[in-house]
């Protein structure tokens, strides 16, 4: 059964140096405030995993939390580059960042295999792309019935998954709705999980499009209203598109980035 704890406790107990940490959220329900807590607790040498690393991953990378990034699309959607991500890859600042990149379909299926207790997944993918040569983690397998060759990717089973959801009940059952990306798979693929939520309710009432994670499949729930800002939480608040745009200027230089992080993350409590 999930324990309901503070975000500080959840990160302190469940995220260790050197862990592989998936923070999922496909443009919606991105666990920004949980990422800030990981930064404040000065975790190091993490392997970060996410289909769509955006601002919170830019921040984690810029603060030197990660040794490695597993991803499939890293940008500021509709705005442009992730400058901290680029600075790490192009210039090794603040540390060099190993990357393993996939297509969305490939990394998604790594999560699916992980959630399914399978060692790998097959897909029609990657054919004819440079990714096959550049990424060690793509192989092929033959169909034992038709002889066709398909791409194979290994399961990913992170140490910890961190996601944000709209609500949990007092028992730790979680419900999210709207775009739910690959969050269920990330939680089910991982050894441990932290779910930050907008609200804790007595009883969950199922919503249209509601995806429920039963409490016994979650390790910890933390009540973190606004935990997805500047991304959004359908039913609670909208995407702060202006902030995504502002991030372009904030993150472009190392100095303005660090000073923003100092003021807005390090000096702020959980």
Partner 1 sequence: MTRTGSGTGNLGFTPSEMMSIAAARELRDGQVCFVGIGAPSTAANLARATQAPGLVLIYESGCIGAKPTTLPLSIGDGELADTADAVVSVPEIFNYWLQPGRIDVGFLGAAQIDRFANLNTTVIGPYDRPEVRLPGAGGAPEIAGSCKEVMIMIKQSRRTFVDPLDFRTSIGFGDGPGSRERLGLRGSGPRMVITDLGILRPDPDSCELTLTDLHPGVSVEAARQATGWELAVAPEPRVTPAPTEAELAHLRHLVSKRPQGSSK
Total binding residues toward partner 1, as defined by CB under 8 A: 73
The answer to the question of residue 203 lying near a second copy (CB under 8 A) is: no
- Considering the complex, state which of residue 206 and residue 268 has its C-beta at the smaller distance from a second copy: 206
CA gyration radius, the chain: 18
- Between the CA atoms of 241, 105, 25 and 162, what dihedral angle is there, to the nearest 10 degrees? -150
Query: What is the footprint of a second copy within residues 36-95 (CB under 8 A)?
Result: none
Q: Which stretch binds partner 1 (CB under 8 A): 3-11, 37-45, 240-248, 257-265?
A: 240-248
- Between the CA atoms of 258, 197, 105 and 130, what dihedral angle is there, to the nearest 10 degrees? 10
The answer to the question of residue 41 lying near partner 1 (CB under 8 A) is: no
- Considering the complex, state which of residue 124 and residue 134 has its C-beta at the smaller distance from a second copy: 124
Contact 191, 178 (CB under 8 A): no
Strand, coil or helix: what is 56? Answer: helix
Residues 93-122, one symbol each (x = binds partner 1 by CB under 8 A, - = not), give: --------xxxxxx-xx-xx--xxxx----
Contact 131, 138 (CB under 8 A): yes
- Considering the complex, state which of residue 18 and residue 117 has its C-beta at the smaller distance from partner 1: 117
The distance in angstroms from the start CA to the end CA of the chain is 24
Strand 149-154's sheet: what is its strand order?
Answer: 120-123, 149-154, 139-142
Query: What is the footprint of partner 1 within residues 117-176 (CB under 8 A)?
Result: 117-118, 123-131, 134, 148-149, 173
Query: What is the footprint of a second copy within residues 148-167 (CB under 8 A)?
Result: 148, 150, 152, 154
The answer to the question of residue 207 lying near a second copy (CB under 8 A) is: yes
Strand, coil or helix: what is 154? Answer: strand
Binding residues vs a second copy (CB under 8 A): 117-120, 122-124, 137, 139-146, 148, 150, 152, 154, 205-210
């Amino acid at each position: 059964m999930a324990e309901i704890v503070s975000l500080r406790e959840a990160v302190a107990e469940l995220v260790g140096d050197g862990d592989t940490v998936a923070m999922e959220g496909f443009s919606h329900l991105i666990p920004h405030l949980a990422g800030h807590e990981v930064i404040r607790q000065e975790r190091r040498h993490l392997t970060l995993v996410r289909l769509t690393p955006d601002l919170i991953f830019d921040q984690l990378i810029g603060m030197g939390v990660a040794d490695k990034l597993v991803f499939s699309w890293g940008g500021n959607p509709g705005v442009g580059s992730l400058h901290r991500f680029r600075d790490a890859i192009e210039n090794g600042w603040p540390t060099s960042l190993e990357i393993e990149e996939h297509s969305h379909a490939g990394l998604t299926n790594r999560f699916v295999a992980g959630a399914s207790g399978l060692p790998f997944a097959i897909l029609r993918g990657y054919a004819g792309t440079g990714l096959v040569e550049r990424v060690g983690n793509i192989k092929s397998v033959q169909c034992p019935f038709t002889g066709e060759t398909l791409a194979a990717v290994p399961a990913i089973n992170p140490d910890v998954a961190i996601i944000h959801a709209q609500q949990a009940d007092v028992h730790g059952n979680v419900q999210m709705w709207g775009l739910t990306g690959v969050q269920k798979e990330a939680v089910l693929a991982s050894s441990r999980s932290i779910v930050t939520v907008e609200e804790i309710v007595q009883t969950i009432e199922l919503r249209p499009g509601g995806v429920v994670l039963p409490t016994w499949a979650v390790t910890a729930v933390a009540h973190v209203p606004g935990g997805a800002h500047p991304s959004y939480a359908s039913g609670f608040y909208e995407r702060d598109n202006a902030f995504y745009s502002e991030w372009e200027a904030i993150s472009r230089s190392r100095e303005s980035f660090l000073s923003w992080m100092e003021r807005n993350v390090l000096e702020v409590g959980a």
